[in-house]
Structure formats: structure tokens, C-alpha cells
Amino acid sequence: MVKVKICGICHESEIGIMNELMPDYVGFVFVPKNRHFIAPEHASVLRSKLQKGIQSVGVFANSSLKSVAMCVEVANIDMIQLHGNETGEYIAALREYTRRPIMKVYKVAGPIDAEKAMYSTADYVMLDGGNAGDGKIFDWSMIGKLHRKFFLSGGLNPDNVLKALELSSQPYAVNVNSGVELNRTKDYRRVMKFISNVRGFKGQKTVSI
């Protein structure tokens, strides 16, 4: 079954939605210029209210090892997601420093970009269409056969996620942020439809709202 990550959690009301609908992962964004930025102390409070079984992911971009380690410790983060220009050497050092699994994000502009992700030293890779989660869709058929676990991201929403799954060579997980929002916060019905459609993918089951 394809797993689901809901990113950009900022409010306690959104934690309530997550606890009821139970995605596999939720993301806290620690990138200051991103509109979903959250301070580690606030993320810690929200993380403490999260149901067991939902893993927390911290999103970073070109942050120092010390800064990432501090956020991971304060907010009790389970996995680290890197959205910047982090090198293999940085990933190795961060893994040693934090003892957390690491996911590296790759922008896909052509088939060669997906191939590069094959050789990443990160534990997981995410294929995205834009920069730092700007919600840009790319041609999912460019992925081809990626022989490692990958997260699919970039402009996903409840209405296009089935098509993305059909064209993208069965990702390990899908990632959504603003695609399940209404008035800039996570919307219960949109999150429910997204998760239901992903988890019913093999049977092509969809949910109407």
C-alpha cells in the first residue's frame, strides 16, 4: 500500500485532523522563508499531541548540522527531509550526528534527474517538480523504473493523485501540502479524500466530496 505524507503542519486543529485520518507521516517545515515555517518549540507541542503510529518529518534546506540537530532534538523528529543543495558528505555527517533516517529531495526536469536519485546516499528520496515545495507538477511518466523507495511530490491533490500513481511507477509514498488546504490550512474533507484515494488505489476507489 502506498504511504501518505501530509506536510506543512502548523496548527493544533490540523493535528486533530491527522489523528483522526492517520496518514503515515506528517511534516514540519523548518525553512524560515516558507509560509509553512514553524518554530521547533511550537512543533514540539504539536508533535506531543500526535497519535502514535504517525511519524514526524522535519523539512530543512541548506541548514547547518547543528541547527538541524537542535530542531530534531527539540521537536522529537523521526525523519529528516533535505530540500536544499546538500551533498553526500553532508548527508553522511548529518546521519552520524542525528542518528535519524534522511530523505533527499530531487527536482525532476527530465528523466536524467530521476536517474540521479537512484544513486543518492540518503535513506529515501523524494521526487518533486519545483523548488522547496512550491507545488509544481512535473511529467510523472518521466520517472520510469526507479529501483528504490521514493516519495512522489509536487502539485498533488485529491483529484490528480490517482493519475500520478498510475504514471509514476508505484512510489513508496506520496507527499501533499497545499493541495489539501482550504484558506491556507489543512481541510478535513480534502485530507480525507486524498488519503482514501491513495489507500484505495489498487481498486481504483475514489471518494466524492
> From CA 32, how far away is CA 174, in angstroms rounded?
24
Give bridge partners of residue 185 from the DSSP assignment: 182
Closest CA to 11 of 54, 50, 46, 56: 46
**pLDDT given at position 148:** 87
> From CA 18, how far away is CA 176, in angstroms rounded?
13
> From CA 39, how far away is CA 74, in angstroms rounded?
10
**pLDDT given at position 206:** 44
| CA torsion through residues 93, 94, 97, 99, sign | negative
SS3 at position 204: coil
From 7, 10, 24, 71, the catalytic residue: 7
Give bridge partners of residue 57 from the DSSP assignment: 27, 79
For residue range 78-102, list pLDDT tens digits in order: 999 999 999 999 999 999 999 999 9
**Total count of residues recorded for the chain:** 209
Domains in the chain with CATH codes: 3-203 (3.20.20.70)
User: How much is the average pLDDT of 183-209?
Assistant: 82
Residues 6+ apart with CB under 8 A from 11: 46, 185, 186
User: How much is the average pLDDT of 156-177?
Assistant: 93
- Decide if 128 is catalytic: yes
The pLDDT confidence band at residue 135, using thresholds 50, 70 and 90, is low
Share of the chain above pLDDT 70, in %: 94
Count Cβ atoms below 10 Å from residue 4 Cβ, excluding itself: 24
Q: What are the phi and psi torsion angles at 80 (to 5°)?
A: -110, 130
- Backbone φ/ψ region at 59: left (φ over 0), alpha (ψ -120 to 50), beta: beta
- Decide if 7 is catalytic: yes
Q: Is the pLDDT of residue 204 over 60?
A: no
Place of cell 491513495: 198
From 10, 24, 71, 128, the catalytic residue: 128
For residue range 16-73, list pLDDT tens digits in order: 999 999 999 999 999 999 999 999 999 999 999 999 999 999 999 999 999 999 999 9
Q: What is the mean pLDDT of the chain?
A: 92
Burial 29-53 (b: 16+ CB within 10 A, else e): bbbeebebebebebbbebbeebeee
3-state DSSP helix/strand/coil % of the chain, to nearest 5: 35, 20, 45
